[in-house]
Amino acid sequence: MEVLKDYVEWAILALLLLMSLVSLSFAIERFFYYRKINLRQFKTKNEAETHLTNNLAALSIIGSNAPYVGLLGTVAGIMIVFYDMGTQSSIDPGVIVVGLSMALKVTAVGLLVAIPTTMVYNMYLRKADTLIGKWEDEVA
């Protein structure tokens, strides 16, 4: 249990950091892609949709799963606090509160990853829909 106690918070935070970096890199990639896009290069609507929505699924997956990753860290942290409470005959309430606050910190970080990622995903999905509409107008 000590190994779990020492590393669970850092492992979850590292995973959330990785998720945020992937999300940020895809968001930057889409930004520059949409700025330089030439809609005339696409021959069919399916081809346009495929290129315009590339990497958006990853943003959606990260945005929807980051809170669950944070929640996993919270549950693990609370389990550790309960384990500590059960193994000690008397425990300082301050230790319990500190342990619970550390556990809840991971959920907050999960939400900090999820909220902007979901906002960026929705923004780029709308941009892709708009560009597909422009492509349809140009073809017709």
Q: What is the mean pLDDT of the chain?
A: 91
Give the integer Cα–Cα distance in Å for 105 and 122.
26
Per-residue model confidence (pLDDT) at position 1: 64
Residues spanned by the domain of 56: 2-139
Name the residue among 119, 121, 15 with its Cα closest to residue 69. 15
The answer to whether 123 and 63 have CB atoms below 8 angstroms apart is no
30 close to 55: Cβ distance less than 8 angstroms:
yes
Does residue 76 contact residue 8 with C-beta atoms inside 8 Å? yes
Name the residue with higher pLDDT: 113 or 91.
Answer: 113
Residue 16's pLDDT band (cuts 50, 70, 90): very high
The verdict on pTM exceeding 0.85 is yes
Given a contact cutoff of 8 angstroms between Cβ atoms, the answer to whether 70 and 109 are in contact is yes
Closest listed residue to residue 78, CA positions, set 66, 56, 96: 96
pLDDT bracket for residue 140 (50, 70, 90): low
Note the pLDDT of residue 85.
Answer: 85
pLDDT at 38: 92
Domain count, the chain: 1
Per-residue confidence at 32, pLDDT binned at 50, 70, 90?
very high
